[in-house]
Amino acid sequence: SLLLALSLLSPWGSVGGSCPPRCVCASNLLSCSQANLSVVPAPLPRFTAVLDLSHNNVTRLRADWAQARLPHLHALLLSHNGLAFVSTEAFTHVPRLRHLDLSSNRLRTLDENLFSDLGELEVLLLYNNEISTVDRTAFENLGRLRKLYLGQNRIARFPLELLREGTRLPQLALLDLSANRLRAVPAGELQALPAWLRDRLYLHNNPLACDCLLFQLLDRGRRRHLSAVEDFQDELRCFLPGATALVKILDLAGKQPLNCSKAREAVLEAHLGDSVTLGCDSRWQGVRSRHWVTPGGERVLGDGGNGSVVLLANGSLQLRALRPEDAGTYSCWVAGPLLNETLYVELLVHNFTLHGPHDTLNTAYTTLVGCILSVVLVLIYLYLTPCRCCCCRGTEKPPAPRDDSINSSVLSTTPNHAGGTGEPCGSHMASSAGTGQNGRFKGGGTPPLPTRQGPKVQRKVSDPDSVSSVFSDTPIVV
């Protein structure tokens, strides 16, 4: 009678709760691993919490594999079964499932709403299959999913829009897409993801195309010591344009043909009078506390003294009506569940407003104005300067005759005594009477020089001003 009473109290001794053949039952655990099963044993005990069916030959999981509702089942293990088909209604009777292992099977597609009945699922293992197609609604209603393993498949495109904030997977903290056939990923969108998700976003061992945005994404992750980058640096490789061999993505800095430059981490630019928000992008999801320190060393725990600095509920720091002295490096101190973390954000404040009048002229505008002014001045110089011509004007004084003078150029090739052959522009020359050489007036007057009659004509009177001419062939008279 005692044994009968114990069997009635045991969950396995109740009606429909006997332990299936070739399985091992311990409390609410049911292990049928390596039992050479081709179908799921039935009926399953109602109180089963963990069901291990791994390493069998269950190739199809139909809707009736669980004939009755299993309200306590939270872990189902079906790895290494050669599973090729899973019905969209296969999980109707196990709504409390939190851990589902379908790894190392032969699944090829993830159909529409395949897991939509598992609203409490937290861990889904699908690695080492033959999956090539993923429907974007396959993970519908998985609001509590935290870890999704899809490595070692044939996925060429994964709907990464599922990772955006407020989408179907709001709690996802780990996504393994390693060893697939991804050739491109939206690096800009991935950079916008929170750091606690990028810390567990695995992309290694994919034939990615080399791109500078991808390099900068991973380079930031290496600086932040994100696990998905730091632990798999050698496996993060890509194809250069026109090349057939893979190269390390993190070795692309400054190398041809891409010549990628390293990105600055957490640098924010703003203008005077703007309002900006500095994000504290910690890789810890369960943050206990955080605070900010300004460039001046002041600790920000709440509103600033004048209300211009505000600590938001999500840990971000908001700066209002920026001033030049607000520029500098801000640090965010985070107390994580395991370790503490310090993040730095550099704020650059330009000394002019974005939409108002500038305090200083823009450099390009100044250069353009300078060029225009230079061209105008050159045109004025060329076309508006006074006219210089060889013709004499009616009121101008005629040029003095070129005679030997103590002030004449010693290098001049003009003859010492030249007689004019004509009057320029038909004007009347002033009489030479009463004037000397170089237009100087001579009181006593000087007799005019005789006209040359031949190649050798001797001067009768020597001009006293000609004694300084070094090219004169006339003897110097003392």
Over the stretch 220-231, which tens digit does the pLDDT of each residue have?
889 888 999 999
Average pLDDT over the chain reads 77
pLDDT digits (tens, 9 = 90+) for 416-427: 444 444 444 444
- Going by C-alpha positions, the residue among 128, 22, 105 that lies closest to residue 57 is 105
Q: Within 13 Å, how many C-alpha atoms sit on residue 26's CB side?
A: 4
DSSP for residue 470: T
Which comes out higher in pLDDT, residue 128 or 477? Answer: 128
Instruction: Compute the distance between CA of residue 168 and CA of residue 144 in angstroms, rounded to an integer.
Output: 10
- CA-angle at 363, arms to 362 and 369, nearest 5°: 90
Q: Name the superfamily (CATH) of residues 268-350.
A: Immunoglobulins (2.60.40.10)
pLDDT band at 467 (very low <50, low <70, confident <90, very high): very low
pLDDT digits (tens, 9 = 90+) for 266-322: 777 888 888 888 888 887 776 777 888 888 778 887 554 456 888 888 788 888 888
Instruction: Identify the sign of the CA torsion 318, 223, 188, 270.
Output: positive
Is there a contact between 167 and 161 (Cβ–Cβ < 8 Å)?
yes
Beta strands in 168-279 (DSSP E): 174-176, 201-202, 208-209, 237-239, 246-248, 267-271, 276-278
Give the per-residue pLDDT at 195: 85
Give the per-residue pLDDT at 204: 96
DSSP state string for 112-143:
TTTTTT-TT--EEE--SS---EE-TTTTTT-T
- Going by C-alpha positions, the residue among 194, 125, 173 that lies closest to residue 153 is 125
CA distances from 18 to 42, 94, 346, 450 (A): 10, 19, 66, 156
Give the per-residue pLDDT at 263: 66
Please tell me which of 41-45, 148-152, 279-283 the model is most confident about, judged by mean pLDDT.
148-152
Tell me the pTM.
0.63
Q: Within 13 Å, how many C-alpha atoms sit on residue 204's CB side?
A: 14
pLDDT band at 469 (very low <50, low <70, confident <90, very high): very low
pLDDT band at 149 (very low <50, low <70, confident <90, very high): very high
Instruction: Answer yes or no: is pLDDT of 439 > 80.
Output: no
- Going by C-alpha positions, the residue among 203, 152, 154 that lies closest to residue 174 is 203
What percent of the chain has pLDDT above 90?
A: 32
Give the residue-averaged pLDDT of 152-176.
84
Work out whether strand 133-134 and strand 85-86 pair parallel, antiparallel, or are unpaired. Answer: unpaired
**Ramachandran assignment for 314, one of left (phi > 0), alpha (psi -120 to 50 degrees), beta (any other):** alpha
Give the residue-averaged pLDDT of 387-415.
48
Instruction: Compute the distance between CA of residue 43 and CA of residue 58 in angstroms, rounded to an integer.
Output: 16
Give the per-residue pLDDT at 4: 35
Q: Is the peptide bond between 43 and the residue preceding it cis, with omega within 30 degrees of 0? A: yes
